Amino acid sequence: MGYTIMGDVHTHTLYSRHAYSTIEENVRAAAEAGLEILGSADHFSGMLYPEQHLRNFQYLINMGVWPRTWHGVTVLHGCEADVVGLDGSLFGQDIVVHCDITGRDLGVERTLFDRATGDADYVIASVHDGSFAEGASVSQVTDMYVAALEQEKVFILGHTGRSGLPYDIDTVLTCAKERHKLIEINEHSLEAGDRYHGVCRSIAERCAELGVGVAVSSDAHVAPRIGQFPTVERMLEEIHFPEELIMNRGREPFLRELAAAGVRDLR
């Protein structure tokens, strides 16, 4: 069958601390791969720093200085925020910030999440440490993912196939479809061996059957992996996945769905 996928919307730079390329290197790699869009989505997570101060996240705050079109590629300002509670809460939403990065009192309380992601184009909500959900029921995890999807800034539910948390797939996918939000099919998850293939395949199959939009992502942590999805593409070909449901197949469908979800209109 073969797919034409012209965007990679889940990638990381040096800022994520366990990634190895600059944003310039990633954009150049995207241009060399012939991509129309690149989404930089560095981690917004407690795994980055032992102390949670706004100064540590000024990289995310200042993404607006990047050219929107860079080496011919549309560059999107995202971040990958950890899901940290069964209520669907995200990292930083329980941390109150009083000051700016210089220490000046802002005179108004806002959360670290709001400060760091306020100008982001979209948020990917992912579970990296599922210990908070130990002993949780399938129903509780399902409600958690639904609550995360319902958050205003969240556009993509990240790599649920490797979270290790079972959930009712149809309920979560129906929520995503109703809100024009996307389910990620993550190359990095499938590269990790056979451990996650079964659940990732089941998620993709139900997305196809229910007509749910997906984002095929490299989750690249180094520039040469940008725009590379060979394992995902093989799986999608095996299940005859409809290309029209791959919303990052090009700039126009991705931006259209981003606007339809009410996250950000960049058209």
pLDDT tens digit string along 183-230?
999 999 998 777 899 999 999 999 999 999 999 999 999 999 999 999
Mean pLDDT of 8-15: 98
CA distances (Å), origin 172, targets 74, 164, 215, 224: 30, 16, 15, 33
- How many Cβ atoms are within 10 Å of 102's Cβ, its own excluded? 7
pLDDT in tens, 98-143: 998 998 998 888 999 999 999 999 999 999 999 999 999 999 999 9
Predicted confidence at residue 113, as pLDDT, reads 98
Task: Put residue 184 in one of left, alpha, beta given phi > 0 → left and psi -120 to 50 → alpha.
Answer: beta
Maximum C-alpha span of the chain:
57
Nearest one of 217, 219, 215, 218 to 247, comparing CA atoms: 215
Q: How confident is the model at residue 261 (pLDDT cuts 50, 70, 90)?
A: very high
CA distance linking residue 230 with residue 238, whole number of Å:
12
pTM listed for this prediction: 0.97
pLDDT in tens, 30-87: 999 999 999 999 999 999 999 999 999 999 999 999 999 999 999 999 999 999 999 9
Mean pLDDT, the chain, integer: 96
DSSP 98-136: EE-TT--EEEEEEEHHHHHHTT-SEEEEE-S-GGGGTT-
Nearest one of 259, 221, 225 to 15, comparing CA atoms: 221
Tell whether the torsion through CA atoms of 81, 85, 87 and 91 is positive or negative.
Answer: negative
Instruction: Report percent pLDDT > 70 for the chain.
Output: 100
Nearest one of 171, 145, 147, 170 to 159, comparing CA atoms: 145
Predicted confidence at residue 1, as pLDDT, reads 61
Domains and CATH numbers, the chain: 7-92+119-260 (3.20.20.140)
pLDDT in tens, 144-180: 999 999 999 999 999 999 998 999 999 999 999 999 9
CA distance linking residue 246 with residue 183, whole number of Å:
10
Predicted confidence at residue 212, as pLDDT, reads 98
